[in-house]
Each structure stands twice: as structure tokens, then as C-alpha cells.
Amino acid sequence: NDKVVIVTGGGQGIGRCIAQTFAEKGAKVVIADIDDEAGIENEKYIKSKGGDCLFVHTDVSLEEDVRNLVDKTIKTYGKIDILINNAGIGSGGTIYTRPMEEWDRVINVNLRGTYMCSKYVAPHMRDNGGGVIINIASTRAFMSEPHTEPYSASKGGIIALTHSLAISLSYDKIRVNSISPGWIEVSEWKKSREAKKPQLTEEDHLQHPAGRVGKPEDVANACLFLCSEEASFITGANLIVDGGMTVKMIYV
């Protein structure tokens, strides 16, 4: 189809797969990534398969970069139908050692970036009669391993931001949903310099009720569904794509 899709963090990992999946369906894909090498590599790959694609260097936590991303998209393709807020980072350290700058960095990329991209894209969707925004959250919004405070808090924030945006933007026919992936193995979707085969064990797979660790395609297919006409009654929702891990009760 002729949809114009922005994928943030579209250079590597889940975003790389989402960008390729939408391009295969005929969408015009804008890859927004801070990593030029990864972004340009994915842009070239999509074009080599006959897809229509544009890479725009973007740090989603910087307002001038987000403005530039939206300007370049409108200049090139004339409209924006879909925004996939996928760019995200984790953090190191613990609450005892982590400098506050690290907290700010994670919140700024994951949460502020998601809000800011939505803020600058929404007017164009409104003027074009509607659109779809998908925010990539995480099952870490609901459960934790130790030492993930900035990441978990940012993802919990994204879930709340999603229903808030869904209500505000409903008047302009913009649907807003989030996807919360669980364990998704992305090592085969890194830029070629970093790509390596995953070292997954049987135990890794079998602990999942679905019988396997997740793949970027699982998230990309959920994005396709949420953007489709079949999902026109779904807004403000969070779709968990985790092979059943968050509903599995564990007693050891």
C-alpha cells in the first residue's frame, strides 16, 4: 500500500525488522536512528529489495532532531500515516552506583523521545485525516529483574502515555497502542559488523509457555496487525507479545 511509516530505532534489532516488514508490504519507510552505520545499512538493504526508504539521522531525545525528522519525512513523502516509537535503551549500575545522568538519559530517550516524536507527528496525521501510533514498551513495565529502575520506569511511563495519547488524539482519528515484548532475540538483526548467531539453550526456549524465545518478526507482525483496518476498534491498548511469560506463575 502507499502508507508512510516512521520507525524510530529502525537501524538495528526489532526496529530493523519492523522497517523491513512494512517495506515488504509496500509502505514507504523512514528509518530514524542515532546510529548512521546501522540506519544506512538497513536503508540500502530495503532499497536493494525494491522498497522505498529514507534514513534520517535522529536522536529521539533531541527536539531539533525530531523536528528535522518530521520535516524531511513531509518534504520527501508528503504525509505520515504511521509512527512506531521503537527506539529504546537500557542502563547499567544499581540504585547505589547509578549516577542521576544515567536515569535522565534512559527516561529522555525512552519516554521523552516517545512523547516528542508523537507530538511532532500528530499534527500531520490530524491534517491528513488520521493515523496510527505504536509505542514499543516492555513486559518490564509490569515485572522486574534487579537493577532495571530507569528502564522499567520508562516503560511503565510509556504504557500510561499510550492511553493518555489515545484519548487526546481520538478526536483526530489517531489510534495509539503499545506493544510489550518479552524476551526477543535480536542478535541476528544487528548491523553486519555486530551481528552474531544467538547462543540460546533448550532451557531458554522451554521456559516460555509458547515453547520458544521471541523473534523480532513476532513484534513486527503485531505492529502490522495494530496498523490494519482489522484493528480499527483497538486504541489505548497494550498488546503483550512474550510467549506467555508474564502470566506464568513460578514457584521454586
Cell numbers representing residue 36 in the block: 548512521
Q: How many residues bind ligand NAD (CB under 6 A)?
A: 26
What backbone phi and psi angles, to 5 degrees, belong to 47?
Answer: -65, -35
**Would you count residue 227 as binding ligand NAD (CB under 6 A)?**
no
Taking CB under 6 A as the criterion, the residue among 53, 56, 134, 186 binding ligand NAD is 186
Taking CB under 6 A as the criterion, the residue among 14, 133, 169, 174 binding ligand NAD is 14
What backbone phi and psi angles, to 5 degrees, belong to 132?
Answer: -135, 135
Distance CA 186, CA 41 (A): 16
Nearer to ligand NAD among residue 14 and residue 176 (C-beta):
14
**Would you count residue 86 as binding ligand NAD (CB under 6 A)?**
yes
Annotated catalytic residue within 77, 120, 151, 171: 151
CB of 128 to ligand NAD, least distance (A): 24
**Would you count residue 222 as binding ligand NAD (CB under 6 A)?**
no
Question: ∠56-165-160 over CA atoms, to 5°?
Answer: 105
Taking alpha carbons only, the member of 128, 181, 129 closest to residue 18 is 181
Q: Which of residues 26-65 bind ligand NAD (CB under 6 A)?
A: 33-35, 38, 58-61
251 flagged as catalytic:
no
**Would you count residue 243 as binding ligand NAD (CB under 6 A)?**
no
Question: x/- string (CB under 6 A) for ligand NAD, residues 92-121?
Answer: -----------------x------------
Distance CA 166, CA 181 (A): 20
Upper half-sphere CA count for residue 181 (Cβ side, 13 Å):
23
CB of 154 to ligand NAD, least distance (A): 8
**Would you count residue 136 as binding ligand NAD (CB under 6 A)?**
yes
**223, 19 Cβ separation under 8 angstroms:** no
**Would you count residue 210 as binding ligand NAD (CB under 6 A)?**
no
**Would you count residue 157 as binding ligand NAD (CB under 6 A)?**
no
Distance CA 14, CA 113 (A): 17
What backbone phi and psi angles, to 5 degrees, belong to 4?
Answer: -105, 125
DSSP-based three-state secondary structure for 52: strand
Q: Which residues are catalytic?
A: 151
Q: Which residues bind ligand NAD (CB under 6 A)?
A: 8-9, 11-15, 33-35, 38, 58-61, 86-89, 109, 136, 138, 181, 183-184, 186
